Structure formats: structure tokens, C-alpha cells
Amino acid sequence: MTNETPRRVKSGVASVVAAQAQAEGYQVTLYAVRQFVKQNKLNVTYCGRKALINYASLLDLLDGKE
């Protein structure tokens, strides 16, 4: 048995990033994350129609560092 901590995502689509933030105790919804992307408040890389969101930029925004 190994007691590994869950791996934190570095970037991902909105659903993955929102779920990770919620698992870490942040009160953020999938809708809010998508609105942050549309308002250009997050660092995002587009791959086709998908927006890959930088998880660190989401945490900075939620912590008030931006």
C-alpha cells in the first residue's frame, strides 16, 4: 500500500479544472470557470474548440492574487 497524494492537474478543460478546484475546497462552479475563460481572466491555450486552462492561474484568481 502506498499513500500517494492525488496528482494536481497543471492544465485541463473546464470540467477537469473545476472538479480539481472543488476537490481542494474551493467554491467554484463549472459555469464560473467557463465565464472566467470568456472574460479572459485565465491563462488559456486553445486546441481546436477546446480551451486548456492553466490551473495555477485559476487558483491565483480564486485566491485574489490577480
Cell of 46: 486553445
pLDDT of residue 6: 58
Q: Can you give the pTM of this predicted structure? A: 0.81
pLDDT in tens, 11-66: 888 999 999 999 999 999 999 999 999 999 999 999 998 889 999 999 999 998 86
Rounded Cα distance between 61 and 66, Å, is: 5
More confident residue, 3 or 54: 54
| φ, ψ of residue 53 in degrees (nearest 5) | -95, 135
Cβ count near 29 (within 10 Å) = 11
Residue holding cell 474551493? 26
pLDDT of residue 64: 86
Rounded Cα distance between 44 and 53, Å, is: 5
